[in-house]
Structure 1
Amino acid sequence: MTAKHTAPYGTWPSPIDAQILTRKSVKLSRPLCLGNNTFWLESRPEEQGRSVIVRHSKGQTPVDITPRQVSVRSRVNEYGGGDFCLSDTTIFYVDASDQQIYSQDQQQLSNIKKITHTPSSRYADLVFDTQRHRLIAIREDFPHAAQESIHSLVSIDLVTGQLVTLAEGDSFYASPALSHDGKQLAWLSWNHPNMPWDYNQCWLATLDHQGDIAQGKIISPAQSSSFQPRWSPQQELFLVNDQSGWWNIYRVAIDTLNCADAMTNTEALKAVLPLEAEFATPQWVFGMSCYDFLDHKTLFVTYTSQGQWQLASIDFTCQQPALNNIDNDFCDISAISCASNHGEPRAVLLGASSDQAQGVWQWQNQQWQCLKQSIVSTLAADNIACAQAISFPTTHEDRAHGFYYPPTNPNYQAPAEEKPPLIVLSHGGPTGATETALNFKIQYWTSRGFAVLDVNYRGSTGYGTWYRNRLKGQWGLFDVDDVCAGAQYLVAQGLADAKRLIIKGSSAGGYTVLAALAFRDTFCAGTSLYGIGDLSALATDTHKFEARYLDSLVAPWPSGEHIYRERSPIHHVEKLTCPVIFFQGLKDKVVPPNQAEMMVAALRRQKISTAYVSFDNEGHGFREAKSIEDQLELELNFYGKIFNFAVQPSREDFQLCDAF
């Protein structure tokens, strides 16, 4: 065994450079089964973030379907999703350039036709209606630049191009699910100020011969959140609902609903298997899937318990269904799709483990096959820091959760008695969660001698509705308490240096960063990626999907304006006394650049060491290779300057920015 070199934490030479995140790497989404073929979407940093549909046929290598000049991406609600769907012969997709729907012949790939011609509209959540040769989709229309967008559920005739509105009047629509015989349609809708994970409605409608809605009604319980309505092979409707305090799967008693007006919607939903576990995630994007039907009696499901994802099947025809665990190494599972070809069922999903990055995986005949990996790495296992689940006390006698990653490098150790610098991560959302799958953005730091704590603060998902709702009215308070409590817990355990505590977050996580730095004295430095400094500005200058999000997280606007001011770091910048670096995309519509620019200007007036790095072609989240690489390199050098340790860029072309 080779002796380890001794070097201070934070200075260890690492085999993990910034380019590992972009070099031949892709971001994967939405795998779909069709017969023996599997399709998925790849976003490629090396192609300026272009998104491409890829097809894998049995026994062959994956091939690109999307022409080189095209990028597939919906921008409905800005976050998009549900960008493409399939028929037996055709692919239907949303073109990123004009947000219109196109058809593409699966055999003659050059045979592409434009389906919609509404330049003021965007489309998402595409569904093919076999009986009527039409598409059903969510439409977001922008009639005037200064007017809020209008959402509706529409159909598009593929022969005539005629567009028909099926449902309108609610603030938002999602998840259209058409029965196999084409006679019934289910969907979700919700209204301001709710988000879909707060309260929404699941609708069920009967369609007439032309496909118009003949009769529709809400089938979900009031004051509950539903997710992913889906039809079984036997024409039964299933959905996920949180009426029990957990997102569980339910079967809808449609006949009972139709003939017994006295029965409530709560009674009409029959839990398949009641559990203190979550079979759903927050619906930030369209096209999400946590379950599907493997055959006429078997559900193929993923669920999370205490923040840990698992995979199982359920025979829902049994009088007492049970979870049948499926052997796998994954700790992050999503986007389940199932199909059966000649009686051979199979499932595909996105899966990642603690030592393998996310991939498209196929499960068939009890065997796993990886069809595509997002990052292919030859890194030895002893270079990987494994997540350790921790729970720690926080304010109001609650407990918060997180995952601790120790400094890990097989070739280096720190001097005796030295404690490592700690980076505390605050995830976005804030309604979301962090996972334990291999994340090279974390390994980049641990391999250099940093410890990392990834916090699932109160308000995160995966711990039940109560924990998710704990942040209501408390954003900027409970999340800040939890990231500080997590850092202090690790210091008390001897796992972090109290004088080198860093907090980092993006979007909503960036707000927690700035609030923690302004209103607490726990941290010594911060990194904000497209973070929020002024809650009032966010309440009045963001896109429709999140326009009323803060009503529940902070207070109703504008009556609660004084609370927004109290919790906005921009108004308390005199309390912020440590260095901060900001990264911002100049095309960001979710958190506009003026948020970062106001904070930077205020900090510089206070003569606080501040760096501001902007990217001309980036929006909310960075997609281009150079942006992703520069962000990590600049952040590393920023910490080196603050804490006085020597760091070297891992790219020959890297130049320290003038902001330093």
Structure 2
Amino acid sequence: MAFVRISPYGSWATPVTADLVVAQAVRVGDARPDGDAVVWAERRPAEGGRSQLVRCAADGTLTELLPGGFDARTAVHEYGGGDWWVRDGVVWFANWADQRLYRVAGGEPEPLTPEPASPRGDRFADGDVHPGGSVLVAVREQHTRDNVRNEIVRLAADRPSEPEVLVSGPDFVASPRFSPDGRLLAWVSWDHPSMPWDDTVLTVRDLGTGENTVVAGGPGESVLEPRWRADGSLLFLSDRTGWWNLYRWAPGEAVTPVVVLDAEIGVPAWTLGSARYAPLPDGRIVFARWSGGYDGLAVATPDGAVTVPDLPFTAVGAVRAAGADEVVLLAGSPAEEPGVYRVTAEGEVRTVRPPRKLPFDPAYVSAPEAISFPSGDAVAHGLFYPPANPEFAGPEGELPPLIVLIHGGPTSQAAPVLSLAVQFWTTRGFAVVDVNYRGSTGFGRAFREQLRGQWGVADVADCRAAARWLAEQGRVDERKLLIRGGSAGGYTTLAALAREDTPFAAGTDLYGVADLEALARDTHKFESRYLDGLIGPYPEARKVYVERSPLSHVGSFARPLLVLQGAEDAVVPPNQSELIVEALRRRRLPVAYLLFEGEQHGFRRAETIRRALGAELGFYSQILGFPLPPEEDLETVAVENL
């Protein structure tokens, strides 16, 4: 029996170091089949956070497709997605540095689009190649001095050309997809103030006649992911029943349901190019669906029956058909990081890109427990991770501190997949709860819309309720409750701390919102009207914006705050962090601030991730009074006015 050391929670030595977390940040962003090969994108912090494309041939040979200086990442909607696509050995991709569209077919990448009028002014994403192979369509986001215009354009697939505008007018467009015979084009569009999970429209155009047909969508219906079948019918996702389920349409026919479940096949379209289902040639459809906080794969047969293969995956993405009865997908579980797999409809699995083998005993891994808990008259959800370290235990009679983790969005969700960024804390003796507060996805449209007009109220209440409920269950120390979040989660963190009755001892805000009014005036096009639904139209609801802004309640702050911010963040600009930091400094309240050069919305560079983790651990050690493990060389941060 191994000797177990007694040490304060938070101070436990762990193999899950900051360097290991950085290594995990080499992650797969998307995967696509190409004949017998599979291509995927790898984000590499050690290379400045760039995305490399890797091809795995049928014999397992790996080839890196992009030379140094190229980064397959688009800035459309600022969040990107649909950065690249592949066919017959050719890859088309948007390059991060100039946002031009490139083609690579075994040699050097060749630009297909002209130099924009202003640097990075023309951005491309979410493309599709015509069945004939000579042209392609893509979303173009064009930035001029006075305007941002989103359109669908057509251009040559194999040589430089001037893009031809096919679809213009809607505020946003996505998912342009050619029919198998190339005669029809489907796409999704929406207009301010809607977001793509609110109201979208699916349109099909006859490219010969120019006639448009509205297939689905409109007020109160979110339509996503149009995908053609070989027989000329069109599949798509719609939440018309309250859940993103699967439907079919064909020219001259009515829309009919294909898969209807109390589960979410779709996910919110923060990024372009998502793929949650894949039709197979024999009529079966392989799809992923969220239910009860967990994701998984299922198969629908042509007669409507749904089967669930026995698979270990609890988080799935990039589901794309590959051959007669197989799909390529990204998938992970509480025990393994995401990898790339080939999976048959019968549930046979072949690993294409294996998840990284953990360099430590699985006994260190804290598995998530799905929880539901009361929050006033409502119910919220979360994933609870208890401390896990086979070498250590806390002092007798003590309970662990709790980190309340708040996902971004806020239209997003906590995913039950192995994250060393979570295990970094649990192996040190922290408990973590990843909260699916009202407004999160994966629980249906009704749950998602409970945050409408209530951002800064319902989310804060649910995070407080999660901490309170776990303390009442005797699982965490009610005196050592911490809260952290990034982006929208950073706003919830600040809003929770900006209350005199806050239960939290301290918080960490990563690029969060401090001044809602400033954000409404100074953010990018994609989210420029997002707050209309979360708070109210601006400026009509200005009083609510001011009231809900953490900056308006600096006088109620009494807990230490750590703020981490990227200097090039276009989603939540640095002035948001600087406003709250300066306000707390003026009141001589405990605060620490780190600004990271070269980082955007979310940290991608190895040195940033490592420094941010060290700063946060050191911050909590100063607040809660536990010693840092001496064997770890982490750069901490000084807390002003502590």
TM-score, reference length from structure 1: 0.94
Matched, 1:314 2:300: yes
Partner of 2:319 in structure 1? 336
Are 2:38 and 2:55, in contact at CA under 8 Å, matched by a contact in 1? Answer: yes
1:25 is displaced (CA, Å) by: 4.8
Partner of 1:421 in structure 2? 401
1:148 is displaced (CA, Å) by: 3.0
Matched, 1:70 2:70: yes
1:350 is displaced (CA, Å) by: 0.9
Structure 2 residues not aligned, in runs of 5+:
none
Partner of 1:525 in structure 2? 506
Q: Following TM superposition, where does structure 1 have runs of at least 4 consecutive aligned residues deviating by more than 6 angstroms?
A: none
1:323 is displaced (CA, Å) by: 1.4
1:231 is displaced (CA, Å) by: 0.5
Structure 2 Cα separation of the partners of residues 406 and 152 of structure 1: 48
Are 1:26 and 1:374, in contact at CA under 8 Å, matched by a contact in 2? Answer: no
**What does residue range 223-262 of structure 1 map to in structure 2 within 5 Å?**
223=219, 224-256=221-253
1:456 is displaced (CA, Å) by: 0.1
Tell me the matched-pair count: 633
1:328 is displaced (CA, Å) by: 1.2
Out of 545, 561, 581, the residue aligned to residue 562 of structure 2 is 581
Structure 1 residues not aligned, in runs of 5+:
257-267
Are 2:560 and 2:589, in contact at CA under 8 Å, matched by a contact in 1? Answer: yes
Structure 2 Cα separation of the partners of residues 216 and 314 of structure 1: 30
Provide closer, same or farther for how the CA distance between residues 89 and 116 of structure 1 changes in structure 2, counting only shifts above 3 A: farther
Are 1:25 and 1:376, in contact at CA under 8 Å, matched by a contact in 2? Answer: no
Out of 359, 363, 369, the residue aligned to residue 382 of structure 1 is 363
1:373 is displaced (CA, Å) by: 4.2
Provide closer, same or farther for how the CA distance between residues 638 and 392 of structure 1 changes in structure 2, counting only shifts above 3 A: same
1:127 is displaced (CA, Å) by: 0.9
Structure 1 Cα separation of the partners of residues 293 and 24 of structure 2: 30
Deviation digits for residues 585-642 of structure 1, max 9, x if unmatched?
0000000001011101111112211000110110100000010011111100100001
Letter in 2 for 1:346: E
1:24 is displaced (CA, Å) by: 6.9
Partner of 1:40 in structure 2? 40
State the secondary structure of the residue aligned to 1:220: strand
Matched, 1:218 2:214: yes
Partner of 1:470 in structure 2? 450
Structure 2 Cα separation of the partners of residues 650 and 569 of structure 1: 38
**What does residue range 123-522 of structure 1 map to in structure 2 within 5 Å?**
123-131=124-132, 133-144=134-145, 147-158=146-157, 159=159, 161-208=161-208, 214-223=210-219, 224-256=221-253, 268-315=254-301, 317-318=302-303, 321-340=304-323, 344-364=324-344, 366-373=347-354, 375-395=356-376, 397-519=377-499, 520-522=501-503
Partner of 1:259 in structure 2? none
Structure 2 Cα separation of the partners of residues 518 and 117 of structure 1: 47
Letter in 2 for 1:241: S
Deviation digits for residues 494-520 of structure 1, max 9, x if unmatched?
111111100000000000000011134
1:374 is displaced (CA, Å) by: 5.5
Letter in 1 for 2:449: N
Matched, 1:606 2:587: yes
Partner of 2:108 in structure 1? 110
Structure 2 Cα separation of the partners of residues 227 and 242 of structure 1: 9
Are 1:103 and 1:115, in contact at CA under 8 Å, matched by a contact in 2? Answer: no
Structure 1 Cα separation of the partners of residues 349 and 114 of structure 2: 39
1:295 is displaced (CA, Å) by: 2.1
Letter in 2 for 1:35: G
State the secondary structure of the residue aligned to 2:224: strand
Structure 1 Cα separation of the partners of residues 472 and 555 of structure 2: 29
Partner of 1:560 in structure 2? 541
Letter in 2 for 1:494: G
Identity between Structure 1 and Structure 2 (%):
38
Structure 1 range deviating more: 377-386 or 470-479: 377-386
Out of 615, 619, 634, the residue aligned to residue 596 of structure 2 is 615
1:111 is displaced (CA, Å) by: 6.2
Deviation digits for residues 245-280 of structure 1, max 9, x if unmatched?
111000114322xxxxxxxxxxx3211121111110
TM-score, reference length from structure 2: 0.96
Structure 1 range deviating more: 610-619 or 368-377: 368-377
Are 1:633 and 1:649, in contact at CA under 8 Å, matched by a contact in 2? Answer: no
1:650 is displaced (CA, Å) by: 5.8
Provide closer, same or farther for how the CA distance between residues 357 and 649 of structure 1 changes in structure 2, counting only shifts above 3 A: farther
1:371 is displaced (CA, Å) by: 2.0
1:128 is displaced (CA, Å) by: 0.8
Structure 1 Cα separation of the partners of residues 10 and 69 of structure 2: 43
1:221 is displaced (CA, Å) by: 3.6
State the secondary structure of the residue aligned to 1:79: coil
State the secondary structure of the residue aligned to 1:514: helix
Structure 1 range deviating more: 130-139 or 632-641: 130-139
Structure 1 Cα separation of the partners of residues 50 and 289 of structure 2: 31
